[in-house]
Amino acid sequence: MFKSKRPDIMKLKLRRDVKGLIKALRYQDDSDIRMYAANALKDLGDPRAIPQLSIALQDRQIEVRKAAVEALCTTGATTGDLRAIGQLGVALQDEKQDHEVRESAAISLVTIANFKDSLPQVRSNLDQLQRQIASRRGLSRERSDAGPRKFFFEESLRLSNDWKKQHPGEEEN
């Protein structure tokens, strides 16, 4: 990896060096580098980054995890790549994950539904994820039959409200 010096994220981004940015996403000496790499990958929207962005969802720093969610959102919204949708679904359902990351994943799925809902495979994946979450949570048939946009938007609101109930008087970041 980058043994002698810190990766220059701006230079890598300007060169559209996706492989270099993916490598920077694994740079363990500085979480800011990992976050900036994820942000640069978001701007490029290249599906080759999906596997490493998926790993970044487990980073120990929340800023890196949130940047990875945003990058997966952009990639999914621009390309319709089903792997991005799948990883956002995993992040949304991971109850060990920070509420901000889960909420961001829900909003990201709304964004993808807005941009790519007309693609049959994307719609099918979103519908399947929606049914899976609804079934796991024991939601009514009416709620589970809502379209993906509405369902995932309501999930983001639910996560936010749950957090507020658990942390009265505190403000979300």
> What is the C-alpha to C-alpha distance for residues 135 and 119, in angstroms, rounded to an integer?
24
For the entire predicted model, the pTM comes to 0.82
Q: Tell me which fold the domain 9-163 belongs to.
A: Leucine-rich Repeat Variant (1.25.10)
Token code pair at residue 60: 């120990």
Residue pLDDT, tens place only, 55-100: 999 999 999 999 999 999 999 888 888 899 999 999 998 888 888 9
Taking residue 1's Cβ as centre, other Cβ atoms within 10 Å add up to 9
Q: HSE of 121 in the Cβ direction (CA atoms, 13 Å)?
A: 9
Report the distance separating Cα 167 and Cα 122, nearest Å: 35
User: What is the reported pLDDT for 120?
Assistant: 83
Domain ranges of the chain: 9-163
- The pLDDT tens digits for 126-160 are 888 888 888 887 776 555 566 888 888 888 888 88
Which one, of 45, 121, 61, 131, lies nearest residue 93 by Cα?
131
